[in-house]
Amino acid sequence: MKPRIYFTIMAIVWLVICGLLLQWSVVMYKSLVYNVSPISFALNNILRLFFGILAFFAGIWVFNRGIDRYADIVLYASVGLLILTLLYGRAFGGATRWIEFLGFSFQPSEFVKFGLIVYLGKVYSYEGLGKVSRVFWKSMIITFVVALLVGLQPNISTAMIMSLSVFLLLWFLGAKIFQILTSSGILLLLFYIAYNTFPHVKERIDIYLGRSDNPRVAQVVQSKVAILSGGVFGRGPGQGLQKLGYLPSSDKDFAFSYITEEYGILGFPAGALWIMIMILLITWNGLWAASKIEDEYKRFLVFGFSLMLFMFSYTHIMVNVGILPPTGLPLPFVSYGGSSLVSSSFAVGYILRGITEGYSYS
């Protein structure tokens, strides 16, 4: 097996194991709080993992199956799901982000961020003929429309990071300086509008700047406490205290902080440094594959998926350590959440197949 393929598979499995260790740690506490048998949580995690494995192999399978022929359908389905979410979605915590279907609930925005790349790849390769500058504004307008629908849920953090990821992708692939400067101004304007339109956005920015006495400030503080108390090797598996209600969403929005509390910076296998390295391995190998693949559409998708995965992962990490304002973004493969696991699994499956393809051009 080629080294890059081996290390990418290792990194994916490693992150999944970290996620399972995190869930194992909080499952007993959850079972007491929600008065549900631990077996129920265990079965739920097994089901999530099963769908994640299916999505992973689906990503590998579609690589050479002409997914570009269905790019339009992917975009229309994405927009349709976002509209359905706004009209009929399930509300929780002041946001309407979930759709219930056949007893399952899923978060469309987790799938849309990769579906957007699938469609923009077609625009880039078919209409732009591999030249970003020809289709830059069309790509950004489509991205803004999709981001607007996500933002109205409201899910501003996903909308902003998704837009920024596409912007960076187009920049790296050759957008002109005027396009970059103009779109940067538009992104800043949209952020300013979001800050003055959505109270929770203003609240989180004010918390970050230290201009708020909102109780959520304690959440940010506890996130840092968790990391610092973990030290180099952590408190030990299952010994974290933040799950006891000190840090809400310790297995979701603050998964990185909580797992660092238990495994520290270097603790094996789920220490903070190991998690960061595994994410970088997947991203680096994906970008390497994108530089080798000659097919413009596949190259765009491998590059886009790699960049999107990196941006969401490291935004989560930077929020947890206090570099960025608090958001509701999960850490792919580690945080609890089936939608994130399934969509990320599909993306890394496609990336892995792209890495295999990249060796044929070396």
Q: Tens digits of per-residue pLDDT, 194-228? A: 888 877 778 778 777 766 666 566 677 888 888 99
Average pLDDT for 108-119: 95
**pLDDT band, very low/low/confident/very high, at 231 (cuts 50, 70, 90):** very high
Residue pointed to by tokens 């959850």: 30
φ, ψ (nearest 5 deg) of residue 177: -60, -40
pLDDT for 283 beyond 90: yes
- Lay out the sheet containing 104-106: strands in order across: 90-92, 95-101, 104-106
**pLDDT band, very low/low/confident/very high, at 271 (cuts 50, 70, 90):** very high
More confident residue, 44 or 235: 235
Which residue range forms the structural domain that includes residue 79?
3-359
pLDDT for 35 beyond 80: no
pLDDT for 42 beyond 90: no
pLDDT at 56: 98
Instruction: Count CB atoms within 10 A of the CB of residue 269.
Output: 12
Q: Which of 341, 319, 286 is nearest to 45 (CA)?
A: 341
More confident residue, 3 or 36: 3
Average pLDDT for 100-119: 89
| DSSP classification of residue 105 | E
Q: Report the SS3 class of residue 268.
A: coil
Q: Tens digits of per-residue pLDDT, 309-340? A: 999 999 999 999 988 888 879 999 999 888 99
* Residue 151 · residue 159 · CB < 8 Å: yes
CA terminus-to-terminus distance, the chain: 15
pLDDT at 243: 77
Q: What is the mean pLDDT of the chain?
A: 90
Instruction: Count CB atoms within 10 A of the CB of residue 341.
Output: 26
Distances from the Cα of 258 to the Cαs of 26, 42, 236, 251, 283, in angstroms? 10, 19, 11, 7, 24
**pLDDT band, very low/low/confident/very high, at 101 (cuts 50, 70, 90):** confident
99 strand-pairing partners: 106
pLDDT for 250 beyond 90: no
* Residue 260 · residue 226 · CB < 8 Å: yes
**pLDDT band, very low/low/confident/very high, at 260 (cuts 50, 70, 90):** very high
**pLDDT band, very low/low/confident/very high, at 95 (cuts 50, 70, 90):** confident
pLDDT at 270: 94
Domain count, the chain: 1
pLDDT for 232 beyond 90: yes
Indicate the angle between helix axes 255-263 and 3-33, nearest 10 degrees: 100
DSSP 19-54: HHHHHHHHHHHHHHHTT--HHHHHHHHHHHHHHHHH
* Residue 153 · residue 97 · CB < 8 Å: yes
